[in-house]
């Protein structure tokens, strides 16, 4: 077995022989909060077929990183906010995390991990400062761990921030929130010193969704009847205005030239008014065209963001709907890897290519039995939708107007597919029946499940396993110290 120092030397020699891509790129966020997960290898093939060069993961998932080995796809791996306290208080825990989740995957023929996202929007207003003071201690410990592993020159630490970290009535007046100014300044000083970009998540859809007075056309890139005039600068879309607010805020703390990466941006295709296939296609295509033009923004003309990660790759049918029912419908692909609409990512293909060799369940659906009295169906629907995803039935959803029996059938079928078409799951006390005729209506698609659900490992199991190892490692260190 190679000794750790020698392994580090081999890794660093390989990294030096690999020339990093310097140009901007369009990447995607690969979220996995789904009832129906495709095999990671199938998703990696989907990324490769669509020539997507960069992917952002919210947590380290071993089966996904193994599938990404040798793919040439650059990776940003995430650390959940809940881990920040432990990583910031224990250098040993940081060493262990880097060893298990970076060093063990990286190297010749391995996973090309370029960034570690320390937390996910930890400064979000709704967290009420819960993670605010945990970010820098975690970053400093992790940086030392990367140094020990001879990876600090290649793997960079970043902190994805929500756009609510800064504020202004006009872009040029942008400042960080007063309670964040000191911490953000420390963070940006660290990022600058270590060659890392500032990562920000920008969502014009949420501006439109949360504010009834927000001009709809300003959220897109097709021009607007409500431009924002800021001195000699004129803003015709919300993205440019938001981006330049950040540029101004960075300038005010002395880092106006800090490279910026868009960690998340996109438009949902279902689940709310304004969330539909047409709007999602127009927004995402407009965004890509805008980025690829290198036109930049008024405060950074001729300079596009360093990289842009579209949110997201696939729909995630098990996500929380607390922010809104649209949360489960951000994907440019549906859960089964099928493109929702034509989209040119500017990466060589004029349109998205679908996932190949997807293993579906048989073509059959569960619907409301037309020959039964459906008076007492409400409780069955409630149970079905508490387990399965029925968000398309809500106001603004693609299945909102298919009628009462259609709604019942959709709920029944969602549950039935989730139960892998177990015949008992379509009984509903005799109110359901199986059909071999596709009940889809217009834009309302009745889904058929997939059989290739991938490995049984989950991010939560990975986290538990990691916590156990950290506890063991800490106890061992304490025992050694006491002796």
Instruction: Classify strands 260-265 and 198-201 as parallel, antiparallel or unpaired.
Output: parallel
Q: Which of 59, 61, 121, 316 is catalytic?
A: 121
Query: How do 161-162 and 198-201 pair as beta strands?
Result: parallel
Work out the angle between the directed axes of helices 378-387 and 403-418 (0-180°, nearest 10): 40
Asked if omega into 312 is within 30° of 0 (cis), the reply is yes
Tokens of 435: 């059909």
For the chain, the farthest-separated pair of C-alpha atoms sits apart, in whole angstroms, at: 77
Q: What is the rounded distance in angstroms from the CA atom of residue 359 to the CA atom of residue 221? A: 38
For residue 179, indicate whether it is catalytic: no
Closest C-alpha among 271, 275, 276 to residue 400: 271
Among 413, 424, 406, CA closest to 449:
413
Q: What whole-number distance in Å separates Cα of residue 392 and Cα of residue 388? A: 11
**Nearest Cα to 151, choosing from 90, 107, 213?**
107
Catalytic residue among 264, 316, 327, 401: 264
C-alpha span between 236 and 96 (Å, rounded): 48
Give kind and range of the element (H or E) at residue 4. Answer: helix 4-17
What is residue 288's DSSP assignment? Answer: H
Residues 419 and 434: their CA atoms lie apart, in Å, by: 13
The stretches of 61-134 forming alpha helices (DSSP H) are: 62-68, 84-89, 91-98
User: What are the structure tokens assigned to 471, written together?
Assistant: 């506890």
The total of other beta-carbon atoms located within 10 Å of residue 178's CB is 8
* Residue 264 a catalytic site member: yes
The pair phi, psi for residue 450, each rounded to 5°, is -115, 155
Distance CA 48, CA 294 (A): 24
Helices 135-148/181-193 angle, 10° precision: 10
Q: Active-site residue numbers? A: 121, 264
């Amino acid at each position: 077995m190679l000794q750790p120092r020698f392994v580090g030397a081999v890794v660093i020699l390989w990294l030096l022989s690999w020339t990093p891509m310097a140009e901007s790129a369009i990447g995607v966020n690969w979220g996995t909060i789904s009832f129906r997960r495709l095999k990671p290898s199938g998703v990696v093939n989907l990324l490769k077929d669509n020539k997507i060069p960069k992917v952002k993961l919210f947590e380290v998932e071993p089966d996904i990183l193994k599938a990404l080995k040798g793919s040439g796809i650059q990776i940003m791996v995430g650390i959940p906010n809940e881990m920040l306290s432990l990583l910031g208080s224990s250098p040993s825990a940081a060493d262990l995390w880097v060893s298990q989740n970076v060093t063990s995957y990286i190297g010749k023929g391995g996973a090309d991990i370029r960034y570690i996202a320390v937390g996910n929007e930890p400064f979000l207003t709704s967290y009420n400062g819960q993670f605010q003071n945990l970010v820098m201690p975690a970053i400093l410990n992790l940086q030392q761990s990367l140094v020990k592993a001879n990876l600090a020159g290649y793997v960079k630490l970043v902190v994805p921030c929500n756009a609510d970290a800064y504020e202004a009535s006009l872009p040029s007046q942008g400042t960080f929130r007063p309670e964040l100014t000191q911490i953000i300044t420390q963070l940006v000083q660290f990022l600058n010193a270590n060659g890392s970009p500032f990562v920000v998540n920008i969502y014009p859809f949420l501006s439109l969704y949360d504010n009834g007075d927000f001009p709809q056309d300003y959220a897109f890139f097709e021009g607007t009847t409500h431009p924002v005039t800021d001195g000699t600068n004129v803003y015709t879309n919300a993205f440019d205005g938001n981006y330049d607010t950040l540029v101004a805020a960075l300038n005010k703390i002395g880092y106006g030239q800090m490279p910026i990466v868009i960690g998340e941006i996109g438009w949902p295709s279902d689940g709310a008014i304004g969330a539909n296939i047409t709007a999602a296609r127009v927004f995402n295509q407009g965004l890509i065209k805008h980025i690829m033009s290198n036109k930049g923004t008024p405060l950074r003309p001729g300079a596009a963001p360093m990289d842009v990660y579209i949110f997201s790759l696939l729909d995630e049918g098990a996500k929380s709907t607390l922010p809104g029912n649209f949360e489960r419908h951000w994907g440019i692909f549906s859960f089964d890897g099928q493109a929702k609409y034509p989209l040119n990512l500017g990466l060589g293909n004029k349109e998205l290519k679908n996932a190949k060799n997807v293993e579906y369940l048989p073509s059959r659906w569960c619907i409301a039995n037309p020959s039964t009295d459906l008076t007492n169906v409400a409780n069955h629907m409630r149970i079905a939708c508490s387990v399965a995803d029925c968000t398309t039935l809500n106001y603004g959803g693609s299945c909102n107007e298919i009628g009462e029996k259609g709604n019942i059938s959709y709920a029944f079928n969602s549950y039935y597919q989730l139960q892998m078409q177990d015949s008992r799951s379509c009984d509903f006390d005799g109110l359901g029946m199986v059909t071999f005729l596709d009940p889809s209506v217009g834009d309302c698609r009745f889904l058929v499940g997939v059989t290739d659900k991938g490995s049984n490992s989950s991010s939560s199991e990975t986290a538990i396993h990691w916590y156990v190892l950290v506890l063991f490692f800490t106890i061992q260190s304490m025992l050694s110290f006491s002796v």
